[in-house]
A and B are shown apart, each in its own frame.
Chain A
Amino acid sequence: MEGLSRRGLGRAAVAAAITVPATARAQSAPSGEPIKIGGSMSLSGGLAGNGRPAGLTHKIWADEVNARGGLLGRPVQIISYDDQSSGAQVPGIYTKLIDVDKVDLVVSGYATAIIAPAMPVVMQRNRTFVSLFGTGVNSEFKYDRYFSVNPSGSNPNQTFAKGFIELAMAMDPKPRSIAIVNLDSDFHQRAAESARSLARSAGLRVVYDRAYPPTTVDFSPIIRAVQAARPDVVFVGSYPPDTAGLLRAASELRVNLQLFGGPMIGPHITAQKLQLGPILNNLVVWDVYAPEPTLQFPGTQPLIERYQPIAAKEGTDALGYYVPPMAYTQMQVLEQAVKKVGSLDQGALAKAMHETTFDTVIGPVRFDATGEWPEPRDIYTQYQGVQGNGIDQFKKAGTQVILYPAQYKSGELRKPYTAGA
């Protein structure tokens, strides 16, 4: 048996020898041992479409920090491993990062399914952990050194659809019924739950309420069943492959609804914006950022401008409005906390994160006791006046106007949604 495992290890060593991790080549303008920041990232598999822009943004941040003279005078170095979009890989990656690579700080990869499996490892070592796009992860663990860069707050099951329902109830005439359609996944279940309870308390009748599995190919039966239920408003939660299918089906079945949308993740990705084009007109979509004048903060535009040429070279998401600002914020929180504390002491960092309001590229960010944002900032936007499939219109203000919340509002709701017809 010893011989066998030696054989296995030998192969592993060969594999290790022939590949120098790309991340190991840090610039050494600042002096001293680099500060190592470790995390997993989905570079392959289902989450890679958003994981790769996030990884790219982390590198951009590291380069900028090193160009500015580093963190605490030391260079920063990012060590990240591909988790293949599989949670099963994650505990191994974090134990390797902490025990073998001896990283100084840990950050999460993209989305709940990747963040949650890292938690036990991180908690056991009492590391401070800044996560990206995790929904409700810490409600189970209740870890006081967890900090979430995700606008949905600590109780998304109640608050997520608030903006959508408020927009619906402000319409004239008032809607009376709602249909809820969602992908059967953690994030969309929570979103649908909030829509359900908020709709009931607003006096809306729920006439259709079903989840669909991720293996669905044809979406026309769903849209048709929704039409048959005759709702005034439709709340949809979906991920990119299904968003395209749902909107195509909606267009083919000539839907005509006062309000249609929700957390339809899809047009957030540039390629899908371009494919859908005019079908997006009057679609109301949950988002975290839109290039509107009302939602500009110091550093937002420079980040986008730095990101886009690199993305074009790497072939990742061209516009970078969805993940990159959030991923950059994730690192800014870490950076500002380290600067404030002046050391890498995990307890002090966590304390500072609880106390500080951070100035980030997505605006001021604070954390409550559970590490979530005390006030959710779920933004509801509407695509307006999209013509053809060109990319430039999406860089202009006025194409994706912000309807909610009021302080960022940049346009008025247009009705009805007719899927481009």
Chain B
Amino acid sequence: MDPDLALLLNGIVSGLLLGGLYAAAAAGLSISFGMLDVVNIAHPAFMVLGAMLVALFWGATGIDPLVLSILLTPAFWALGAAIYVAYHHFFERRGDEAIQGLAFFFGVMFIIEIGLVLAIGPEQHFADASYANTTWRLGEIDLPLRMLVPALVAFLAIGGLALFLRHSFTGRAIAAVAQDREALRLLAIDPVRIKRLAFGISIAMAALAGGALVVVQPVDAGSGHIFIGRVFAIVIMGGLSSLWGCVLAALAFGVVENVTASFYGPSWSPAVAFGALLLVLAVRPQGFFGRVA
């Protein structure tokens, strides 16, 4: 194969795998920020919290990190539900959630990060999956399982979530709460309960994303910072409340970053990716896949 073509194909494939990690990180936010209108800037911090816990438990038990992260999801769901109760009590109920809620999550982010530093230390932590050193090859295309398995697990989880949102009664109520809160009341559904449930799910997704992250790379308490911009960018490009849009945007983001890095050098890839988002925002603020408001 032509070396440039191989480079391009591998850039695209590795970008798709990277996009899988981004999709895992952004899916939870697509629920909280996209559907519930809760600007949870601390979402990547929850992801890092999940990753650090997985690393700790992995050190103690040696169970696969992704399995551990799935085991963590109920605890994270409860944590998310509790945080939503506080958020609702202090902000939504009063009707001034926009800026104050944002500051609240900023504070939560700080507390998580510093809490991790105080409790576990500022060093990097890691967890090795048994498959992390294996790479599948299709011709000249490499598929490292370190990236592939987390991406697949993420897609499975997102797929399951999408089915749940589309076909279960509760799931449809979650989708509806984003659109019209009053209509839910008429159906005798408590929108607060539904939103609590949904926010719990978004934080549970963060735990799963943490498992994926710690398989891909070592993490420290501040690892979430570089994801803040990316996950929000992805959710917006994906058109907020659309899970599929979020996945597609995540894949596109990964591919743009990696192809830029392959051909023009890695130093420009953040500018290209975020420049693209700025353009999207300026030209088509509802995102690629969003409905016109």
Contact = CB atoms under 8 A, between A and B. Distances in A.
* A in complex with B: yes
Interface of A: 43-46, 48-49, 52, 184, 210-218, 220-222, 224-225, 228, 240-241, 244-245, 248-249, 251-254, 269, 271-272, 275, 315-317, 420
A315 B261 contact: no
Nearest to B229: A215
A45 B267 CA distance: 23
Contacts of A275: 126, 128, 218
Contact of A217 (B128, B132, B226): B226
Interface string B1-41: 00100110011001101100100000000000000000000
Contacts of B125: 271
B267 A211 contact: yes
Contacts of A269: 123-124
Contacts of B147: 218, 220
- A-B pairs with lowest CB-CB distance, top 4: A48-B122, A212-B266, A252-B144, A221-B261
Interface in B129-186: 132-133, 135, 142, 144, 146-147
Given A49-B220, A218-B14, A224 B133 contact: no
A279 to B, nearest CB: 8
Nearest to A184: B267
A316 B3 CA distance: 45
Nearest to A222: B266
Contact of A46 (B15, B120, B222, B266): B222
A221 B262 contact: yes
Contacts of A254: 135
Contact of B267 (A46, A210, A252, A271): A210
Nearest to A208: B265
B114 interface: yes
Contact of A221 (B144, B226, B258): B258
A274 to B, nearest CB: 9
A272 B219 CA distance: 11
Contact residues on B (Cβ < 8 Å of other chain), bracket:
35 or more
B217 A217 contact: yes
A262 to B, nearest CB: 17
Contacts of A216: 261, 266, 269
B18 A252 contact: no
Contacts of A215: 226, 270
B146 A252 contact: yes
Nearest to B113: A44
Contacts of A420: 133
A249 B262 CA distance: 14
Contact of B7 (A228, A251, A316): A228
B124 A220 contact: no
A224 B226 contact: no
B178 to A, nearest CB: 30
B121 interface: yes
A220 B14 contact: yes
Contacts of A241: 124, 217-218, 220, 223
29 contacts: A52-B121, A211-B265, A212-B266, A213-B269, A215-B226, A215-B270, A216-B266, A217-B226, A217-B257, A218-B147, A218-B261, A220-B258, A221-B11, A221-B262, A222-B266, A225-B261, A241-B220, A244-B126, A245-B217, A249-B144, A252-B146, A253-B135, A269-B124, A271-B124, A272-B126, A272-B218, A316-B121, A316-B123, A420-B133
B261 A252 contact: no
B267 A212 contact: yes
A271 B133 CA distance: 18
B98 interface: no
A255 to B, nearest CB: 12
B126 A224 contact: no
A271 B123 CA distance: 8
Contacts of B269: 213, 216
Contact of B123 (A213, A225, A244, A317): A317
Contacts of A222: 261, 266
Contacts of B10: 220-221, 224
Nearest to A254: B135
Contacts of B220: 49, 241
B117 interface: yes
B21 A220 contact: no
Given A220-B10, A245-B217, A252-B135, 15 more contacts: A44-B114, A44-B122, A48-B121, A52-B122, A184-B267, A211-B266, A214-B226, A216-B266, A218-B254, A225-B261, A228-B3, A241-B217, A248-B132, A269-B124, A272-B218
Contacts of A213: 266-267, 269-270
A218 B255 CA distance: 11
Contacts of A48: 117, 121-123
Given A48-B117, A224-B7, A272 B265 contact: no
Contacts of A316: 121, 123
Nearest to A242: B217
B228 to A, nearest CB: 11
A30 B222 CA distance: 42
Among B122, B142, B263, max chain A CB count under 10 A is at B122
B217 A244 contact: yes
A218 B258 contact: yes
A389 B266 CA distance: 31
Contacts of A221: 10-11, 14-15, 258-259, 261-262, 266
Contacts of B257: 217-218
Contacts of B128: 275
Given A218-B257, A244-B217, A272-B124, A44 B117 contact: yes
Contacts of B216: 217
